[in-house]
Structures are given as C-alpha cells and as structure tokens.
Amino acid sequence: MNNDLPTGAVALVAKPLTSQAFTPYGIVIEVPAVEGRPINGGNARRFDLLDDLRLDAEGGRPMLALFRAQARRFPHEVSEMERHALGSQSFVPLGDRRFVIVVARAGEAPTSAKQLAAFVTDGRQGVVLAPGTWHHALLAVDAGDFVVIERAGGGVDCDICLLRQSGSVRL
C-alpha cells in the first residue's frame, strides 16, 4: 500500500461502518439482532429491514439495478462527489463484498475532503443514503455484485461537485 498522499490531499481513514456513526447520512442495512419471524412453513425467517425508502418525489418510482464493481486500489483519491436530491439510494453487496462509502452531509456541496467521512463495511452490510447526501461513487474493496435501489423517473437527479481539496481514502 502506498502511503504517499497527493499534494495537498487530506487523509481519510475509513472507519468501520456502524448505525450510530452513519446516522447523519442515512441508514445501515444489516441483519438485526432479533430473530425475525418464521415464514414459508417455518423453513425461512423474515427480517423486515426498511419500509421508508424515499423514491417517489416528482413522479419517481423504485428501480432495482445490479452494479458489477471492480475492486479499487487504496489509498484512493477522492476529488468528486455526487448527490441524488430527489430520492434515497441503497447499496447492498451480494455475498461478502466490502466497500467504502465516502459521504458528506446533505446541503451545500462540500469543497474539501475535510468535510467528508469514510466508512468501510464488513462485507455483509449495505447502506441507504438519505436524499441529498453527498457521496462518492461506489468504492468496492472486493470485486463483485451490488444491488442498488434508487429512484427512476423524469429529470436528472444527479448533482456532481468537484472538491477544491481532494482526499486520499485509506483502509
């Protein structure tokens, strides 16, 4: 792993993803500590995880997509962020696939990596980004498939900003 930062870059160490730490940006998706309820004649257990995805703004509707991601190299430079103001966006790995989520609070576009937070999943966790939350594109630690649930609908719902001071994400 290369420990050199690009000139002027801010070091961002990806912290383990927890529900409490991620609350300002959205929701962590993980199997809850409860037993769920039996279904299918007792051959399966059901865990109701989310019922409030926000995808219907301005006539939007839910879209389920599959992203096949290549593993990124770390440290990884972060110089651009995006947001979806009209709907939440969810990322759920299929199988044990870790990924890093780099985020900034909803509102004004971040200008420096000093305004960002970075989290690394345990490979079984997913996230739901609240509408308007600034985030980096998918940063897979482990190559593989990710289910993405997001808003489909009219208009463009992806704002992009460039950081004046980039960051370097480390695991």
Q: What number of H helices and E strands is found in the chain? A: 1, 15
Greater confidence (166 vs 2) lies with 166
Tens digits of per-residue pLDDT, 52-76? 788 888 899 999 999 999 999 999 9
User: Rg of the chain over CA atoms, in angstroms?
Assistant: 17
Whole-angstrom distance, CA of residue 113 vs CA of residue 93: 26
* pLDDT score, position 1: 46
Count of other CB atoms within 10 angstroms of residue 158: 11
pTM: 0.90
Question: How many Å apart are CA 93 and CA 142, to the nearest integer?
Answer: 10
pLDDT tens by residue, 73-128: 999 999 999 999 999 999 999 999 999 999 999 999 999 999 999 999 999 999 99
Residue 147 has pLDDT above 60, yes or no: yes
Which residue's structure tokens are 């039996």?
A: 38
Q: How confident is the model at residue 155 (pLDDT cuts 50, 70, 90)?
A: confident
Q: Are 107 and 130 in contact (CB under 8 A)?
A: no
